Amino acid sequence: MWCQICEQGNVIPAVIKQLKQKVWLCDECEATWFRLEDVNKEKALLYVTYMKSKNLPPLWDELELLD
């Protein structure tokens, strides 16, 4: 799915392994949504910001990509 925030990236489904939290995030700008129906509609969170708020390292290694 095309990211309308950066207009360069692809929004992909993933699970944050340590939280078992499903997310959709852009592989370019790292905009993050928690529900598929919110992607490109609701305001996005940044992956880095969300991970920091959970005291987790904001690395792609923390994700299990579902695509």
Q: Provide the β-strand partners of residue 63.
A: 16
Number of H-type helices and E-type strands within the chain? 1, 5
Cβ(30)–Cβ(41) under 8 Å?
A: no
CB of 9 to Zn ion, least distance (A): 4
Site residues for Zn ion, window 3-42 (CB under 5 A)? 3, 5-6, 9, 26, 28-29, 31
CB of 51 to Zn ion, least distance (A): 17
Q: Token digits for 42?
A: 């609701």
**Residue 62 sits in the site that holds Zn ion (CB under 5 A):** no
Q: Cβ closer to Zn ion: 6 or 59?
A: 6
